[in-house]
Amino acid sequence: MYAPTWESVGTHPLPDWYDDAKLGIFLHWGLYSVPGWAPQVPDIQQLLKTKGPADMLRDNPYAEWYLNSSRLPGSPTWHHQRDTYGPEATYDDFVTAFDEGTAGADMAAIAAVCRDAGAGYVVLTTKHHDGFCLWPTALEHPRKGRYHARRDIVGDLRSAVLDAGLRMGLYYSGGYDWPYNDALLENPADSFLAVPHTPDYRHYAAAHVSELISRYAPSVLWNDICWPAGGDLAELFAEYYNAVPDGVINDRWIQPPGHRGAVTDSLARMGGSLLQRFWSLIPEDRKSLTFPASHHYDIRTPEYAQFDSIQDKKWESTRGVGHSFGANRNERPEDIVTATELVRSFVDIVAKNGNLLIGVGPDEHGRLPDEQLVPLRGLGEWLRHNGDAVFGTRPWHIAQTTTTEGGAIRFTQRDGALNAVLLDVSAAEFGVRGIDATDVTEVRLPALGEPVDWRVTDSMLHVRLPDRIPPSPAYVLTLGHGARPV
């Protein structure tokens, strides 16, 4: 049993199931699924670097931020809302369409998509920043009353996900509940000021999370943005670990200070305005969407970002298949990651001690857009032939190298075997840099189920691929015992 102290919860080990799974599907589903719209812009990290935080909020590519974006006068989403639904329409007008659509949603079909992609777990948005809950919570929203879906979407999807042989994780927006304090983010400082600071909200959020733990026992407890000031997070974490001993907690639980006062708020907004004005002078390495880590966490969760080297602490790269997590019907084909790009990015993440949580957004009927399914199907097909080089693996001594022809290679290891995953192949014959292959006993191409021609010259491994190798986003070479980094 975990006692409600940081020392106690800090002893929680990362469960093997999570480290073995490697792939999760992030489902953003809510009222924002009805309009399903955001402007066509680059990914959010690029937008932030080039335009700054204020323009990022105004031109936000995240469709799940529709409520906030549609309230910023003159923004693309503001124009879309008025042009499509009329100047008097409100966000809550989407409740009826969402309830009617989700009533007939095929949860088993959604779970099958996740399973067939090769995922080991699913994470569902139980409450996003708009405050609308996807389960029949016993708590009334302080400003909205019974503000939740008619169907128990969390419970029904959880049952389907478990039946598909996957684990179920739950996302909760603890940092933002925009209707709670009528928050509107338009200035860089608002990302801090928009967090509700009252004891009532802290109790409301904690009661929600306790309800989710007791009703659904999520394998992953995934909070977003931060956590309201005050309260006892160690107690909440202990409650979770005691209920789900092999559970996983992410890093976005940082607790900001409490209420700042009117003068401090004004100064914060002034500072935000100055930040935007002088954005071009800020060093490039500081222009990123990052989340400070809380006192305790099992995994870090960088967003639309990857690392250059193996990380000591387990991490989870989170991104959508496009530039949005929620379905954006305004996205173009070129905005969606290709199957080849997804496979190669996934392998790179795994080689550096990460998992991938890839986001897709159902519409109000629970249907996933075809353009979002294409890369997932491609990833699943690749994993059916090459999954042994990913699932259950651990990082090797080095994450990457190149061939003598300039092709990128990523390494994973499992049960004493080393996997060299070729991310691009420009020539059928090449050498593998960065390893001493003197004692290698075998080289196989598992997807073909046969050995390949190979030799070792001056400790370098040289490989010749078969003449008629089928096209693939990446090729796995499995090396017998004996490889060492140079």
Partners of 167 in the beta sheet? 121
A 10 A CB-CB count for 359 gives 24
* Four-residue CA torsion sign, 359, 364, 367, 371: negative
What local confidence, expressed as pLDDT, does residue 272 receive? 46
Q: Packing angle between helix 370-386 and helix 339-351, nearest 10 degrees? A: 50
* Residue ranges, CATH 2.60.40.1180, the chain: 400-485
Q: What strand order describes the sheet that includes 429-432? A: 429-432, 460-464, 453-457
Give the Cα separation of 362 and 328 in Å (integer).
10
Fold of the domain spanning 6-389: TIM Barrel (3.20.20)
Q: Provide the Cα torsion 428, 431, 436, 437; round to 10°.
A: 40
* Protein fold of 400-485: Immunoglobulin-like (2.60.40)
Cα–Cα distance between 299 and 296 in angstroms, integer? 9
Walk along the chain (486 residues) and give the pLDDT tens digit of each residue.
899 999 999 999 999 999 999 999 999 999 999 999 999 987 767 777 676 777 788 889 999 999 999 999 999 999 999 999 999 999 999 999 999 999 999 999 999 999 999 999 999 999 999 999 999 999 999 999 999 999 999 999 999 999 999 999 999 999 999 999 999 998 877 888 899 989 999 999 999 999 999 999 999 999 999 999 888 999 999 999 999 999 999 999 998 765 554 445 554 444 445 444 544 545 655 535 566 677 899 999 999 888 999 999 999 999 999 999 999 999 999 999 999 999 999 999 999 999 999 999 999 999 998 999 999 999 999 999 999 999 999 999 999 999 999 999 999 999 889 999 999 988 889 999 999 999 999 999 988 877 789 999 999 999 999 888 889 999 999 998 778 888
pLDDT value of residue 230: 87
Quickly list DSSP for 395-457: --S-SEEEBTTS-EEEEEEETTEEEEEES--S-SEEEETTEE-TT---EEETTTTEE-EEEEE
User: What pLDDT is stored for residue 278 in this prediction?
Assistant: 43
Q: Give the tokens for residue 133.
A: 């809950």
pLDDT at residue number 462: 97
Residue 485 tokens read as 């980094």
CA distance 46 to 52: 10
> Which residue intervals of the chain bear CATH 3.20.20.80?
6-389
